[in-house]
Amino acid sequence: MTDTALPDRRADLLRTASQDLLWDVLVIGGGASGLGAAVEAATRGYKTLLLEAHDYAKGTSSRSTKLVHGGVRYLAQGNVSLVREALHERGLLKKNAPHLVRDLGFLIASYTWWSKPFYGIGLKVYDALAGKLNLRPSRLIERQKAFKLVPTLKPEGLKGGVLYFDGQFDDSRLAITLLRTLEDHGGVALNYAPVVGLSKTGGKVSGATFRDGETGREYTVRAKAVINATGVFVDSVRQLDDPAAKPMLSPSQGVHVVVDRRFLPGDSALMVPRTDDGRVLFAVPWHDHVVIGTTDTPVPDVSLEPRPLPEEIDFILQTAAQYLTPAPTRADVRSVYVGLRPLVKAAEGTDTKAISRDHVIRISESGLLTLTGGKWTTYRRMGEDAVNRAADLADLPARLTLTPGLHLHGWSEAEREDHWKVYGSDAPKIQALEGAGTRLHPRLPYSEAEVRWAVRMEQARTVEDVLSRRLRALLLGAQASIEAAPRVAQLLAEELGKDAAWQAEQVQGYRDLAAGYLLPG
């Protein structure tokens, strides 16, 4: 697609499902793992198709803590290999997508005599595991420096702290960047295309049937290898393959609250290494707001729109109040969001905080390859491992990975601090579109031109696609995003040729969804 071509979904559907076409790799799922696997396959020259049931990064992959990190707490658990791998991938991602990843200092505030040397030693190990790809060395800091980094720290008993560095990113923007990268390398992706059945030839998986979510029409595609990368929904796809397949996941949910920047006005994040329930908690500056989280609560069922428990919100705010003054209250929360972790089942009685975040690959008797677990930081390695196995299974030509040094779509080292940075080299093209100077809402940084771009170049189909994942309005201010929804619906209708009834339906649907991101009064 050129930068001026309008999307033609019907043509894409017919071309995708042509019976003359045999895909090398079919990836089911458009989150971190699915997009990573699809980019890996396409860059090796394999004919690659990705099908996403809803929208790219609709689930957990747009609801992370926004960190590209090795995982300090995994080091405390003794999982050195996972931390080393994640730190390596952190360094690669910063090189491959500098428009999406930045260095961020994290302060561990010290209120006891032993905590500075204790955490200082641990973080030197963290630095060493990163090797040549380390961002900056950690260091001990004195009390006054701690206040300079985090001016809202509680002063009573503060003895200084430890400063270390990790990466920060925008999760759903990385997902859209991977979508564009996939297309740049000849791959094809469709959203709103849920897989409703798997095809088999001689007992082996040989393709899938999917439904166009907009028309209800079903299409069948053929593929040599099929990768199930549907995050917390992998068991549903596994049961399409084998109705007797036992669930392999033990999901948990992580809650985050978003508040104004005044609660963390410095240039650094705050990391609480051990909360009352034994977790870590982050307060992270992000898009001129602050994200605080997270929790780890086992959940019996998975859903597309998980909701926070009242006690999870209380836990986050109470923990923040132990370190920050003034501390945010329920009235200060601009948005609350929940992500589900696809944790692979552990032994009976194991606490989900202790379950490894390593990714897992399982291959069924029919040859369905399931990829799950892991986290955004290791998405590339997950994709590489999955495609290596898929290529072996399908007897595809052996080809080396190119992704460790692959510049992702929009790659740019341009220094800018405004919201346009996430578009990288595409930013000037968007700024040249109609509406670039017209804000969608006074409390949001986004312009009308970005809505048009999201439709034309990023497969946005709904108001939610735009306000939640192409732009981050839903997370930065749920109420402001609700107020912007009617204008976004108008712009979408212009681009997609929709009528007033469609606009009204979109606005109401978005209001209902966004209400779940607001705290009850």
Listed residues 301, 319, 344: the one ending a domain: 344
How far, rounded to the nearest angstrom, does the alpha carbon of residue 511 sit from its chain's CA centroid? 23
Task: Provide CB contacts within 8 A for 16, sequence distance 6+.
Answer: 49, 188, 190, 219, 221
Residue 371 neighbours by CB distance under 10 Å:
29
Tokens 């006005």 identify what position? Answer: 265
For residue 28, being part of any structural domain is answered with: yes
Q: Which residues contact 331 (CB under 8 A, 6 or more apart)?
A: none
- Residue 507 in any domain: the answer is yes
DSSP category for residue 322: T
Residues 164 and 178 in one domain: no
Domain count, the chain: 3
Owning domain of residue 463: 432-515
Q: What is the pLDDT of residue 416?
A: 84
Query: Would you say residue 483 lies in a domain?
Result: yes
Write out the two tokens for 335. Answer: 């948005």
> What CATH number did the domain enclosing 270 receive?
3.30.9.10
Is the domain of 295 the same as that of 217? no
Cβ pair 454, 433 in contact under 8 A: no
Give me the DSSP letters along 204-264.
EEEEEEEE-TTT--EEEEEEEEEEE--GGGHHHHHHHH-TTPPP-B--EEEEEEEEEGGGS
Asked whether residue 80 is assigned to any structural domain, the reply reads no
Q: Is residue 288 part of a domain?
A: yes
pLDDT computed for residue 406 by the predictor = 98
Q: What is the pTM of this model?
A: 0.96
Residue 256 lies in a domain: yes
Does residue 494 sit within a domain?
A: yes
Does residue 295 sit in the same domain as residue 198? no
If asked whether residues 242 and 256 sit together in one domain, one would say no
Same domain, 292 and 323: yes
**Alpha-carbon dihedral angle through residues 123, 129, 131, 135, given to the nearest 10 degrees:** -40
- Residue 304: per-residue pLDDT: 94
Number of Cβ atoms within 10 Å of the Cβ of 13: 17
Contact between 176 and 56 (Cβ < 8 Å): yes
The answer as to whether 374 is a domain residue is yes
pLDDT at 468: 98
Residues 164, 16 within the same domain = no
What letter would DSSP give residue 520? P
The answer on 440 and 386 residing in a single domain is no
Question: In sequence order, what are the residues at sequence separation of 6 or more whose Cβ sits closer than 8 angstroms to the Cβ of residue 163?
Answer: 105, 106, 107, 108, 138, 139, 140, 141, 145, 149, 268
If asked whether residues 158 and 274 sit together in one domain, one would say yes
CATH of the domain at 380: 3.50.50.60
Token digits of residue 475? 């997370």
Tokens of 151: 């001016």
Chunked mean pLDDT (size 10), the chain, 521 residues? 58 85 98 98 98 98 96 83 94 97 97 94 95 95 96 96 97 98 97 98 98 96 98 97 94 96 95 88 97 94 94 96 96 97 68 60 97 95 97 97 98 91 97 97 97 97 98 98 98 97 98 95 63
pLDDT of residue 2: 39
First CA to last CA distance, the chain: 46
Is residue 286 domain-shared with residue 338, that is, in the same domain? yes
Rg (alpha carbons) of the chain, rounded to whole number: 23
How far does CA 402 lie from the centroid of its chain? 22
Whole-number Å distance between alpha carbons of 242 and 261: 49
CATH number at residue 446: 1.10.8.870
Q: Are residues 359 and 262 in the same domain?
A: no
Cα–Cα distance between 102 and 236 in angstroms, integer?
Answer: 36
**Domain check: are 300 and 439 in the same one?**
no
Q: Are residues 313 and 223 in the same domain?
A: no
- Rounded to whole angstroms, the Cα distance separating 76 from 405 reads 30
User: 312, 344, 376: which is the final residue of a domain?
Assistant: 344
pLDDT recorded at residue 357 = 60
